[in-house]
A and B are shown apart, each in its own frame.
Chain A
Amino acid sequence: MRVVLSSMWRTASGRYSMTVLAIWILVSLISRFWTPVPIWTTDGYRIWQAPSRAHLLGTDGTGADILSWLMAGSATNLAISLLAVLLSGVLGLLLVMAMVSRRSGVSQTVVVLVDALISLPTVLLALILAVPLGPSIAVVVVACGFGYGLNLARIVRPQALLAAESDYVQSARHSGVGSFRIFLTHLVPNVIPVLCVQLSMSAGTSVLAEAGLTYLGVGVPSGLPSWGHSLTTSVKFINVFPLTVLWPGLAVTMVVVALNLFGDALRDAIDPVTNPRLRAAVAAAGRSTLQSGQSDDSGHHVENAIHTGEGDQSCR
């Protein structure tokens, strides 16, 4: 783990993405307890103020502090991203598990299902959900999680199929290991690089989706801070106060860029084929576990890393 992180830190894009993501998480945590001005404080005499010492980014049409709303919004967006990624990860892996299932009826059905639904845009799904549920965070999370889960399943399937046909999975199966356990211990470690990239990019897309859906009135309900709301409230006054449009857009763009770069950097760092430092560390750790003859925590990680390498080599 430490080798992976430090390898990522060595590239410029890795450094940028890790810094921005760390700031995002930090600001989200801080905003739970403190913002420069409490977000519900409005001041009718101070609407559309230019940036000043009291209001670093100025105030909006209700006299609320723009910076404070952006900070509070970051927590909402972080929560949405995490939930959407979690949902899509679970759904995607379940679909992959069904797709590589030995029962051909199950796998065929799921493959057809995923192929059929994959061209359905996320925003249409969100609109379907929004009619009965009204605007809510759940609409964003479920629509994103569902859409990205399908994508994930489709992208991960070839790798998982390769791994499912490999010798070690065959031998595990013959020695009577259950298919669920095989999936967890052999297939999942094999697809981790692809999985990480995809989840990281999905997190980015969910931030964008939140902004779009909230603007369309089916995302985060009004009253809850989010970047989508910050963007939306500034739209009406774009000609008069263009600066207020810049900040939320910048926040969204910076975070999404960071998440995309994070995925790329993580893929390069987590793959022993492209990361010589990880290869060396794996080899060293492997030697020490062989010598001591015990499988501690690091030994388990080594096993995973080696599987990862094997999966990648076999697909080349």
Chain B
Amino acid sequence: MAKFLVRRLVLFILALMGISLLIFLALRILPGDVAAVMAGLDAPPARVDRLRRQMGLDRSYPRQYLDWISGFLQGDLGRSILTNRPIASQVGVRAQITFPLILLGLGVALLLGIPLGCAAALARSPRMQSFSHMAAIVGGSVPALWSGLLLIMLFAKGSGLIGLLPSQGFPAFGWAQPGQALSALILPALSTGIIVGAGIMRYTRSLLGDMLSSGYVDMGMACGMTRTQAALRIGLRLASPQLVSVIGLTMAEMITGVMVSENLFALPGLGSMLITDVGNRDLPAVQSELLLLAAFFLFLGLLVDVIHRLIDPRFRGAARQEVAA
């Protein structure tokens, strides 16, 4: 395990370095002079030069990269070109919306996906089986924007059919009033959670289905459990390592949903901040925010691998072996 952890940590650091380089180079080498765009059309060359100096674009690439990374590691994400305010403080405020939203969405996805997936796998009638299969596929085929819109049409306060929940904005006082803050996040979390949950449901169904025909469940039934008990106690436990890695992969998909719902529901989170900064081509802000989000998802990947390793009985006491994905 220790060896695995070290190896995985090295991989994490390598990936982070690789991605920081990718972000840096993509923003520098690809065509399109950011300073010229920011200065505006027909800007005098002097102004473009000044902007370029201000952004540090006149220094050599290795120097720029080192400046950025060393600052980043010390928690200094740079200053926004537009507002000249430190990016780190902004990010801190906005993360208080985005991270709860991601967790809430994941909660919705798991609460929907795993029980429904189990029910679908255990269903005996072929009609029920094909219905649940179709439900999972359709649920996973809905654009994130559309699910949010449909939820607004149904549940938004004021305009929806059943006016229940706020659909725009986040309370200005934030988490000081948890109830209101939470209710502002429910619809956005539902709109991404349903989509991701459909994917998890599909995988749960097929993994548990495999387990049902594997003989392990028969063994449990021979020991006196009912089919459902055997499937849930033995089958689900055996399938859980693979389920964890699937959940890890779907998390990466979740960020699209979160970005779209932050914009749709007018939540001032990290996602909408990033989109605004990309639109403004605020180079220092964009590169730091991108690296931060990428680091978050790489960390999730690391976490999933570690959990996978911890709960997979095949690794208990066994020497390092490679699993065919």
Contacts and interface: CB of A to CB of B under 8 A. Distances in A.
Contacts of A221: none
Interface string A135-177: 0000000000000000000110110010000000000000000
Contacts of B248: 119
A200 interface: no
A155 to B, nearest CB: 7
B27 A128 contact: yes
Contact of A131 (B137, B140, B159, B283): B283
Name, among B30, B137, B256, B263, the residue most crowded by chain A CB atoms within 10 Å (CB to CB): B256
Given A120-B19, A130-B278, A131-B281, A245 B259 contact: no
Contacts of A1: none
Interface string B258-290: 011001100000000011001101010010001
Contacts of A129: 26, 30
A116 interface: yes
Nearest to B286: A131
Name, among B30, B146, B274, B324, the residue most crowded by chain A CB atoms within 10 Å (CB to CB): B146
Interface residues of A, number: 49
A261 B136 CA distance: 11
A54 interface: no
Interface residues of B, number: 56
A231 interface: yes
A116 B137 contact: no
B30 A120 contact: no
Nearest to A151: B249
Contacts of A261: 137
B297 interface: yes
Contacts of B95: none
Contact of B324 (A120, A158, A211, A235): A158
Interface string A250-282: 001100110011000000000000000000000
Nearest to A254: B141
Contact of A124 (B159, B260, B290): B290
B285 to A, nearest CB: 10
B278 A127 contact: yes
A77 to B, nearest CB: 11
A232 B275 CA distance: 15
B255 A121 contact: yes
A216 B263 contact: yes
Nearest to A211: B143
A131 B298 contact: no
A208 B143 contact: yes
Contacts of A134: 32
Contacts of B11: 112, 115-116
Contacts of A218: 275, 278
B182 interface: no
Contacts of B30: 129, 132-133
A253 B145 contact: no
Contacts of A234: 149
Contacts of B138: 253, 257
A297 B35 CA distance: 58
Interface in A107-123: 112-113, 115-123
Given A132-B32, A132-B34, A249-B142, A242 B153 contact: yes
Contact of A217 (B23, B34, B275): B275
A146 to B, nearest CB: 10
Interface string A210-244: 01100111100000000000011011001100100
Interface string B190-234: 000000000000000000000000000000000000000000000
Contacts of B324: 157-158, 161
Contacts of B256: 121-123, 209, 212
Contacts of A128: 22-23, 26-27, 290
Contacts of B142: 249, 252-253, 256
A242 B11 CA distance: 48
A58 B260 CA distance: 26
Contact of A158 (B26, B279, B325): B325
Contacts of A257: 137-138, 141
A242 B325 CA distance: 44
Contacts of A253: 138, 141-143, 146
B146 to A, nearest CB: 4
A119 B297 contact: yes
B166 interface: no
Contact of A204 (B141, B152, B249, B300): B141
Name, among A119, A158, A249, the residue most crowded by chain B CB atoms within 10 Å (CB to CB): A119
Pairs of residues from A and B, 6 with the lowest C-beta to C-beta distance, nearest first: A119-B301, A116-B15, A249-B146, A256-B141, A132-B30, A158-B324
Interface of B: 11-12, 14-15, 18-19, 22-23, 26-27, 30-32, 34, 137-138, 140-146, 149-150, 152-153, 159, 248-249, 251-253, 255-257, 259-260, 263-264, 274-275, 278-279, 281, 283, 286, 290, 293-294, 297-298, 300-301, 324-325
Interface of A: 112-113, 115-124, 127-134, 154-155, 157-158, 161, 204, 208-209, 211-212, 215-218, 231-232, 234-235, 238-239, 242, 245, 249, 252-253, 256-257, 260-261
Given A122-B256, A212-B144, 11 more contacts: A115-B11, A116-B12, A119-B252, A120-B19, A208-B144, A215-B264, A245-B146, A245-B153, A253-B141, A257-B138, A257-B141
